[in-house]
């Protein structure tokens, strides 16, 4: 290496040496910048990561803010890098807030939770525990109230023709719980009330009832007690309708109980964040030690006792199904193709019955033409034979195939359908048998009669109904203190059996059926007295006619039974009729049969 080159290299090495001496300083400066950035990062993140909790305002925005203020502060402290704030919303605003993702979490009543879950996919992560007098409650209900001095409303049925105020058409505790209770007691809020209005808050409903501007109101449980505690109302000004009592539940109540409000995450909220919030909520203490004054009570500030794991909201779904609300608006209403797919058993039964009818029609026509019947009694005999053979056999086949389907089917819903088909088939067989029996009786002109005691016959018939009487808890009072000789055929048992069966069938559970025999000169009159719905005057004669049956509030039947009774009594040269029960509600069916005259008989 030349001297010139050496001279050139020496400054270069000196410069490199100087740079290497500064390298540790650069490293240290860089590390300080990184640490400083990390130190500042949480603060910047906390400012950026603001999460909104939408809360349904059941008593107004101010009340909602005070209710969850402590909880929002607590979550901001417990979930690193996140701030939480409260957004009060009314019933209309909450749907828009969730759909537009302006909220990350939502606290709402069970009714809106189910609607939002169905429409926007929110999912509950906790259930609120309500606080009262130092105890926690996870269920609530509805309260139907009126003024204490309103003597016209004392029970649910008195609401007919009255005005009513509820909180909102979406409110669960402030409307729908009360509606379901009224519906279950025969009150249709759309038809039976003179007017229905909505006050938007529970407080407004209570004040409207107190002022007398409405006759009655629906609110959720605990609002009355809290307003009393706040000194805003006097509980003696109000009366609770249909008051209920559940052990351990402290609030005034008119309905059954349902799970408390649900704290839910919207679909766009990260699962990891929801998990942290859930853990924080379930771990939230009664006292918040990090509050500024050190004494702020989260529970007392919010009128609730914290949170528990999400409860089962099945009762809410059942209410909405029953009233066809929200996602269940068209519950039970399915298109024709789906109905056929779901109820193909009924379709099969329909076509089988149609085949029976067509077969019956063809066979009847062919046999009538072939035999060239001239007398009406022969036609009736033929009809009876066809009824017993050509209809009972296919009906029996339906029952047999139905039994096979029942044992092969594993789906519980389809098994219930098959059981219904089996019951209807039994009714079909019974109707065919009754029709055949009546046709036979129509062809008779007289019966073979012999001396029998009507009292003994009635006792034998009554014993056969022991099971039916016990099943409905009905008492049978049979008064036969003496002997009641009469000339009758053994088919007379069919008369007493039919009348007694009808009385048990149409009498309410826990009532009494009375049977007695009265001396009516040359006749014995047998009375069967029930406490059922009775028979309208215009139907008292028609119910004994063939295939004619008076309406008995939707209870179905063929109408042949009483026609058979009438025909049998006619063949005994007797009489039959029906009167109103003189002791109150119900009917008195009676038959008159001739007494046995031993002076004119050699038997």
Q: Per-residue pLDDT tens for 353-408? A: 888 888 888 888 777 766 654 555 555 665 666 655 556 667 667 777 777 777 77
Please indicate whether residue 547 or residue 26 has the higher confidence score (pLDDT): 547
Instruction: Please state, in angstroms and rounded to a whole number, the distance separating the CA atoms of residues 180 and 186.
Output: 10
Tell me what pLDDT residue 575 has. Answer: 92
- Phi and psi angles of residue 256, each rounded to the nearest 5 degrees, phi first: -80, 175
**At 454, is the secondary structure helix, strand, or coil?**
helix
Other CB atoms within a 10 A radius of the CB of residue 579 amount to: 14
pLDDT, mean of residues 230-248: 95
Does 503 score more than 70 pLDDT?
yes
Tell me what pLDDT residue 191 has. Answer: 94
Tell me what pLDDT residue 199 has. Answer: 94
Q: What is the pLDDT of residues 61-113, one digit of tens each?
A: 777 777 778 889 999 999 999 999 999 998 889 999 999 999 999 999 999 99
Under DSSP, the state recorded for 175 is: I
Most confident of 18-32, 269-283, 363-377: 269-283
Q: How confident is the model at residue 209 (pLDDT cuts 50, 70, 90)?
A: very high
- Phi and psi angles of residue 27, each rounded to the nearest 5 degrees, phi first: -60, -45
Q: What is the pLDDT of residues 539-565, one digit of tens each?
A: 887 888 765 444 444 333 456 778 888
Other CB atoms within a 10 A radius of the CB of residue 48 amount to: 10
Range of lowest pLDDT (235-244, 290-299, 311-320, 408-417)? 290-299
Tell me what pLDDT residue 388 has. Answer: 58
pLDDT, mean of residues 19-43: 44
Instruction: Please state, in angstroms and rounded to a whole number, the distance separating the CA atoms of residues 31 and 37.
Output: 10
Instruction: Please state, in angstroms and rounded to a whole number, the distance separating the CA atoms of residues 372 and 542.
Output: 34
Does 451 score more than 50 pLDDT?
yes
Q: Which residues neighbour 180 within 8 Å (Cβ) at sequence distance 6 or greater?
A: 255, 319, 322, 323
**At 162, is the secondary structure helix, strand, or coil?**
coil
Q: What is the pLDDT of residues 106-140, one digit of tens each?
A: 999 999 999 999 999 999 999 999 989 889 999 99
């Amino acid at each position: 290496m030349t001297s010139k080159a050496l001279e050139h290299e020496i400054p270069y090495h000196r410069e490199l040496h100087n740079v290497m001496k500064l390298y540790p300083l650069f490293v240290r400066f860089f590390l300080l910048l990184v640490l400083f950035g990390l130190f500042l990062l949480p603060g910047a993140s906390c400012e950026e990561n603001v999460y909104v909790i939408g809360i349904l305002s059941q008593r107004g925005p101010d009340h909602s803010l005070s209710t969850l203020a402590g909880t929002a502060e607590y979550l901001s402290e417990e979930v690193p890098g996140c701030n939480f704030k409260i957004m009060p919303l009314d019933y209309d605003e909450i749907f828009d807030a969730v759909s537009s993702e302006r909220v990350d979490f939502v606290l709402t009543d069970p009714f809106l939770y189910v609607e939002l879950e169905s429409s926007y996919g929110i999912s509950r992560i906790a259930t609120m525990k309500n606080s009262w007098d130092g105890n926690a409650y996870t269920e609530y209900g509805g309260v139907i109230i009126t003024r204490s001095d309103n003597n016209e409303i004392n029970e649910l049925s008195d609401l007919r023709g009255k005005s009513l105020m509820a909180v909102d058409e979406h409110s669960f505790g402030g409307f729908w719980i009360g509606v379901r209770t009224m519906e279950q007691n025969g009150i249709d809020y759309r038809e039976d009330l003179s007017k229905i209005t909505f006050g938007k808050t529970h407080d407004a409903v209570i004040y409207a009832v107190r002022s007398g501007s409405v006759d009655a109101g629906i609110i959720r449980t605990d609002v009355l007690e809290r307003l009393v505690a706040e000194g805003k109302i006097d509980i003696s000004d109000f009366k609770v309708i249909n008051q209920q009592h559940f052990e351990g539940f402290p609030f005034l109540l008119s309905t059954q109980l349902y799970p408390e409000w649900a704290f839910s995450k919207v679909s766009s909220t990260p699962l990891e964040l929801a998990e942290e919030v859930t853990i924080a909520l379930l771990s939230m203490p009664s006292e918040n030690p990090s509050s500024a004054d050190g004494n702020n009570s989260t529970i007392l500030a919010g009128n609730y006792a914290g949170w528990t794991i999400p409860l089962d909201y099945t009762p809410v779904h059942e209410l909405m199904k029953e009233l066809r609300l929200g996602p269940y608006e068209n519950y039970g209403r399915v298109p024709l193709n789906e109905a056929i797919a779901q109820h193909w058993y009924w379709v099969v039964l329909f076509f089988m019955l149609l085949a029976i009818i067509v077969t019956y029609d063809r066979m009847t026509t062919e046999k009538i033409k072939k035999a060239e019947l001239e007398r009406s009694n022969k036609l009736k005999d033929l009809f009876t034979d066809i009824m017993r053979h050509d209809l009972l056999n296919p009906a029996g086949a339906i029952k047999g195939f139905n039994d096979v389907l029942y044992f092969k089917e594993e789906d519980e819903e389809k098994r219930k359908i098959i059981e219904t088909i089996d019951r209807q088939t039994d009714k079909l067989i019974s109707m065919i048998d009754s029709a055949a029996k009546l046709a036979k009786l129509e062809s008779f002109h007289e019966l073979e009669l012999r001396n029998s005691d009507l009292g003994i016959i009635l006792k034998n018939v009554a014993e056969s109904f022991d099971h039916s009487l016990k099943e409905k808890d009905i008492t049978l009072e049979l008064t036969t203190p003496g002997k009641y000789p009469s000339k009758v055929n053994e088919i007379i048992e069919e008369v007493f059996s039919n009348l007694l069966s009808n009385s048990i069938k149409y009498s309410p559970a826990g009532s009494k059926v009375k049977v007695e025999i009265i001396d009516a000169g040359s006749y014995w009159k047998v009375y069967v007295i029930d406490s059922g719905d009775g028979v309208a005057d215009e139907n008292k004669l028609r119910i004994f006619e063939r295939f004619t049956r008076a309406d008995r509030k939707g209870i179905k039947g063929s109408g042949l039974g009483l026609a058979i009774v009438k025909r049998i009594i006619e063949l005994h040269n007797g009489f039959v009729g029906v009167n109103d029960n003189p002791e109150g509600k119900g009917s008195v069916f009676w038959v008159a049969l001739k007494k046995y005259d031993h002076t004119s008989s050699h038997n």
